[in-house]
Chains A and B, each alone.
Chain A
Amino acid sequence: MRNSDLAISARAVKKSYGSTQALIGIDLDLHHGECLALLGPNGAGKTTTTEIFEGYRKRDSGQVSVLGVDPSHGDLQWRSRLGVVLQSAHDLGELKVSEAVAHFGSYFRDPAPTSKLIESVGLIEKADSRVRSLSGGQRRRLDVALGLVGNPELLFLDEPTTGFDPEARRQFWELIESLKARGVTILLTTHYLDEAELLADRVAVIAGGIVVADKSPASMRAETLRTATVSWQESGETKSVETNNPTQTVLELMARFDQEIPGLSITRPTLEDVYLQLVGSHYLGVK
């Protein structure tokens, strides 16, 4: 529990809202300097889990340590080491971007320099614009700037790129990569598997209030290679076979058709398929 390598350590964390059990028992570790992506369907317990880590919500039972401190007793000193980017905020509309960043920076002993920070999130042209005039993606980047203003050791990002256009997402990913390079520990909640695969060192999938998978993106990717679906056209209909040895299947088909196999295709499951299977099998298991 008191492992100093861990930025976050959670054991058997439970939380209920009335008669609804939101978290059945969460076990999760996050090492210093690591980026962990938290995936899971809506209502699976992702937000409850992160908000317990952030000190926003109280757990019913279990043990949690965030930067060596129990978040339900975190003081201001502890807070100043965290950066929190929440899901949806639409405040600060009347302030200029630079004013908002400078103001929140004043809460910290050693804040990031305002203009450098604004530049790093790609808002330098908007520094003197009112916050309410920003687009959705620009607002999100301001939120990230405000999460980073205190040079946090640990950054929480809750669905940071929802509603971004592809260009904005790419820029945002570069920003996160640069934070990782600086050694910032990141807990990223997201719905996008490509984002998780690209940014995260480890992916944890939460479903039904427990962690159903905790592995590297590469090992999730490897699972996509375990099986393949071979399909072709025969007597006017599409036939398909799921197999671990697609080459063997194709060889057999070649022998049968003696010429070009009509409509032949070999497909591998996508990362999304692997994810959906993880989530789906959990819910089937519950039933």
Chain B
Amino acid sequence: MKFALNIGFSRIAIELKQLLRDREATFWTLAFPIVLMVIFGSVFRNQTLGTLEITFSQYFVAGMIASGMLYTSFQNLAISIPQERDEGALKRLQGLPMPKTSYFIGKIGLVFVTFVGQTIVLIITGILFFGIDLPTEPSAWWRFTWISLLGLVSCTLLGIAFSSVPKSGKGASAVATPIVLVLQFTSGVFFFFGDLPSWMQNFASLFPLKWLTQGMRSVFLPPEAAVLEIAGSFESARTAQVLLLWLVIAAVLATVTFRWNRRGEN
């Protein structure tokens, strides 16, 4: 176990090194959510929600931070792992005395650092342009921390599991991106969740993103915004349960379905 952890940390360092040196990839990882935030935020700038003094822009910033979690974990890995498979990187690793867990730890670390970087940039943009206030109570930051941790680990493992689905690195983006988009549309990122038809709300409630966006609203919107939620509250306990359940499912799926080689190559 100690061995797996040591190599795992060594993998985090090497994964980060490789990402940060790829300037283009680093730039777009950070810039893409900001571009989206600026476009959507500007369109709905004057649109307030209900009778509250909350604009859709603010609502959207919370949604984008949650989406950033899905980008940096699920979407990123669902695309980059099949590419690594094509490059022969995974085959090389398979031939080395490295536990699978160490590879997973490396990916989780990579995702964490990317998410933190992306979120800092998103929050700064939100504060500067869309009147977002940083929460002051420690309880809000505590919520932010556990929601992010649960969300990132489960979506990282889901990304690892999903990486076995695309046949090649070339097609990976075409398979993974629509899933993220559909979840964003149905989970209250691009639209106000309360306006969606109830079947769509029910569908979204099955997946983590709805709970992550709701959780981020509980952090970045004032407490009175809870009345905008379907349940009339931010449902912290429920969020924790759903994310934990997904964490278990994702861990099992990742361990069982992960493959070093392409399909048909064994």
Contacts and interface: CB of A to CB of B under 8 A. Distances in A.
- Chain B contact residues, majority secondary structure: helix
Nearest to A75: B97
Interface string A68-103: 000000001101101010101111101100010001
A91 B99 contact: no
B88 A86 contact: yes
Interface stretch (A1-9, A104-112, A163-171, A266-274): A104-112
B85 to A, nearest CB: 10
A107 B97 contact: yes
Tier of interface size on chain A? 20 to 34
A58 B97 contact: no
B17 A89 contact: no
A60 to B, nearest CB: 12
A160 interface: no
A86 B92 contact: yes
Nearest to B96: A107
A159 interface: no
A77 B97 contact: yes
B99 A56 contact: no
Given A57-B266, A79-B95, A91 B87 contact: yes
B88 A90 contact: yes
Contacts of B92: 84, 86, 89, 91, 146
B261 interface: yes
B98 A56 contact: no
A79 B14 CA distance: 21
Given A89-B88, A91-B87, A79 B17 contact: no
B95 A54 contact: yes
B91 interface: yes
Query: Which secondary structure dominates where chain A touches chain B?
Result: loop
B17 A94 contact: yes
B174 to A, nearest CB: 22
Interface in B109-139: none
A86 B261 CA distance: 13
A147 B98 CA distance: 14
B88 A91 contact: yes
A234 to B, nearest CB: 57
For chain B, the bracket of interface size reads: 20 to 34
B196 interface: no
Contacts of A99: 14, 17
Interface string B233-266: 0000000000000000000000000000100111
Given A56-B261, A94-B21, A94-B22, A89 B89 contact: yes
Contact of A76 (B22, B98, B265): B98
A150 interface: yes
B10 interface: yes
A173 B57 CA distance: 66
Given A56-B266, A76-B99, A99-B17, A106 B10 contact: yes
A90 B95 contact: no
B7 interface: yes
Interface string B11-23: 0001001100110
Given A56-B266, A99-B17, A89 B97 contact: no
Contacts of B98: 76, 107
Contacts of A91: 84, 87-89, 92
4 closest cross-chain pairs (CB), A and B: A89-B88, A91-B89, A84-B95, A80-B97
Given A54-B95, A107-B97, 8 more contacts: A57-B265, A79-B97, A82-B95, A84-B92, A91-B89, A94-B17, A95-B21, A99-B14
20 contacts: A17-B264, A56-B95, A56-B261, A57-B265, A76-B98, A79-B96, A79-B97, A86-B91, A89-B87, A89-B91, A89-B92, A90-B88, A91-B87, A91-B89, A92-B89, A94-B18, A94-B21, A130-B21, A146-B92, A150-B97
Interface of B: 6-7, 10, 14, 17-18, 21-22, 84, 87-89, 91-92, 94-99, 261, 264-266
Interface of A: 17, 54, 56-58, 76-77, 79-80, 82, 84, 86, 88-92, 94-95, 99, 103-104, 106-108, 130, 146, 150
